[in-house]
């Protein structure tokens, strides 16, 4: 299996068992390695086959916690929201925020627009005025000659919205692009968009080659690539929470509502000024968004890439959330682009994703955008609330403690004892190890 350069050859063509055997041989205890990996295989073989086929060279399944946030009120409707995330306390933070805002009117959300984008990048070095003047007829051709791809999407109310010719020749000689916008209804639309774009590229090539008003040189075009853009600033959702400052309540660190609002506003301001803080601030927002995106079978890399690009749309990287304290009202808003789907892809293949969507009442893509953004906002509120009052370590303590205890295979009884002890002690790997050693040796702690 290893060739003369010690590289695997033909690995992907082997069966899963064969692959596992080979990889196990590289470990200290191959039998134990194989047994552990196999213990995560699903007992239903046909289901396991489905999981194996999601990707390449699969050896086993990777478990992640699937949690829920109950009682989330969005636009006066209640949801139980699924979240898939490994980081302890993110679900708890979202749930705490949901509970806090439930008593203050809940969350509000709206989708601003749902436009998806794709590009055909090409190089052409002819007379620009000829191309610009003939572009309307080329555009017509591009739309007419892709009806075999767009017919179904059109029936669902979507399709191609527009195709623009973009001139980038001042930045790179001969560089133009077709910038196409799409409505992909309830699907994320990646396959649909990429199929349309590849068809545009082929129509474009033929159009140049057969254009009699062009010189022989002008009939040559180089298609560089055709691909959707994950930056979709017009596939935008906005959500917010608001209440009178006087109704913000009291806080664990003893701050008054006014003091809390003032400090919270400074934290948001800092995340607008300083990209180092903005990155962590936005990471906290994506703790929530990614977890919902994963639980509902969507592409969290696309959603994150888009959000971080949008966070820089003013020219410098900033907070995605904003706070206003006008007229005595505390209003925290999150505006974020994201392209989500509720049909196609994993949404119909992964059984737990199907259940996640079912739990949400099988929402439309638009509704799912509002749900995911709301959880981002909920996590942002919780994080900044903790940071500006008692700090985040207190909230993380229990989960963090349990993670360390699990490392030592602690029993429920030992965890219970640890909770009591660490209520007043600081949690670290060393302090927890010492605590466990003592209670197992029956020494006083």
The answer to whether 192 and 184 have CB atoms below 8 angstroms apart is yes
Q: For residues 115 and 234, what is the distance between their CA atoms, to the nearest angstrom? A: 5
Listed as own residue / partner, the contacts of 265-268 with beta carbons closer than 8 Å and 24 or more positions apart are 265/323, 265/325, 266/388, 267/384, 267/387, 267/388, 268/319, 268/321, 268/322, 268/323, 268/332, 268/384
Q: For residues 34 and 311, what is the distance between their CA atoms, to the nearest angstrom? A: 44
Minimal distance in Å, beta carbon 401 to ligand MEV?
A: 17
Q: Which is nearer to ligand MEV, 89 or 119 (CB)?
A: 89
Q: Which is nearer to ligand MEV, 150 or 380 (CB)?
A: 380
289 exposure class (CB count in 10 Å sphere: 0-12, 13-18, 19+): buried
Q: Which is nearer to ligand MEV, 87 or 358 (CB)?
A: 87
6 exposure class (CB count in 10 Å sphere: 0-12, 13-18, 19+): exposed
Separation of CA 317 from chain center: 18
Q: For residues 293 and 439, what is the distance between their CA atoms, to the nearest angstrom? A: 42
Q: Which is nearer to ligand MEV, 237 or 383 (CB)?
A: 383
Q: Which is nearer to ligand MEV, 59 or 303 (CB)?
A: 303
Q: Which is nearer to ligand MEV, 165 or 387 (CB)?
A: 387
> Which residues are known catalytic residues?
87, 283, 299, 396
Residues lying near ligand MEV in the complex (CB under 6 A) are found at 87, 280-281, 283-284, 287, 383-384, 387, 392
Listed as own residue / partner, the contacts of 245-254 with beta carbons closer than 8 Å and 24 or more positions apart are 245/325, 245/328, 245/329, 245/330, 246/328, 247/104, 248/330, 249/100, 251/385, 251/389, 252/389, 252/390, 253/389, 253/390
Q: For residues 342 and 360, what is the distance between their CA atoms, to the nearest angstrom? A: 11
Separation of CA 345 from chain center: 15
The answer to whether 98 and 235 have CB atoms below 8 angstroms apart is no
Q: Where are the alpha helices (DSSP H) in 318-392?
A: 351-359, 365-388
Q: Which is nearer to ligand MEV, 93 or 302 (CB)?
A: 93
Residue nearest to ligand MEV (CB): 284
């Amino acid at each position: 299996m290893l060739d003369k350069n010690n590289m695997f050859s033909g690995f992907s063509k082997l069966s899963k068992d064969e692959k596992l055997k080979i990889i196990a041989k590289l470990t200290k205890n191959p039998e134990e390695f194989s047994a552990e990996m196999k213990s995560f295989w699903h007992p239903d073989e046909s289901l396991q086959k489905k999981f194996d086929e999601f990707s390449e060279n699969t050896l086993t399944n990777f478990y992640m916690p699937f949690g829920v946030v109950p009682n989330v009120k969005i636009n006066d409707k209640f949801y139980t929201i699924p979240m898939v995330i490994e980081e302890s306390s993110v679900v708890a933070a979202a749930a705490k925020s949901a509970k806090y805002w439930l008593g203050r009117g809940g969350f509000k959300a709206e989708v601003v627009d749902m436009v998806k984008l794709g590009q055909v990048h090409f190089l052409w070095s002819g007379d620009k005025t000829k191309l610009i003047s003939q572009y309307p007829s080329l555009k017509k051709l591009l739309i007419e000659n892709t009806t075999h791809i767009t017919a179904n999407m059109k029936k669902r109310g979507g399709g191609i919205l527009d195709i623009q010719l973009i001139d980038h020749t001042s930045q790179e000689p001969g560089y133009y692009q077709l910038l196409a916008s799409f409505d992909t209804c309830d699907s994320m639309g990646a396959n649909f968009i990429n199929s349309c774009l590849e068809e545009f590229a082929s129509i474009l090539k033929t159009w140049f080659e057969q254009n009699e008003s062009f010189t022989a040189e002008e009939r040559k075009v180089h298609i560089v690539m055709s691909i959707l853009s994950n930056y979709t600033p017009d596939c935008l959702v906005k959500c917010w929470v608001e209440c009178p400052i006087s109704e913000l309540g009291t806080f664990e660190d003893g701050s008054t509502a006014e003091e809390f609002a003032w400090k919270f506003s400074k934290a948001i301001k800092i995340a607008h000024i300083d990209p180092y803080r903005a990155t962590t601030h936005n990471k906290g927002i994506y703790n929530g968004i990614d977890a919902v995106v994963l639980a509902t079978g969507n592409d969290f890399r696309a959603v994150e890439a888009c959000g971080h690009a949008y966070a820089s749309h003013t020219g410098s990287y900033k907070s995605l959330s904003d706070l206003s304290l006008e007229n005595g009202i505390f209003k925290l808003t999150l505006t974020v682009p994201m392209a989500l789907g509720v049909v196609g892809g994993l949404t119909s293949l992964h059984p737990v994703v199907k259940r996640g969507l079912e739990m949400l009442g099988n929402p439309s893509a638009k509704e799912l955008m509002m749900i995911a953004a709301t959880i981002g906002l909920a996590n942002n509120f919780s994080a900044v609330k903790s940071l500006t009052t008692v700090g985040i370590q207190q909230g993380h303590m229990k989960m963090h403690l349990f993670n360390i205890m699990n490392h030592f295979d602690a029993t429920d009884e030992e965890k219970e004892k640890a909770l009591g002890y660490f209520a007043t002690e600081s949690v670290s790997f060393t302090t927890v190890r010492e605590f466990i050693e003592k209670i197992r040796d029956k020494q006083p702690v």
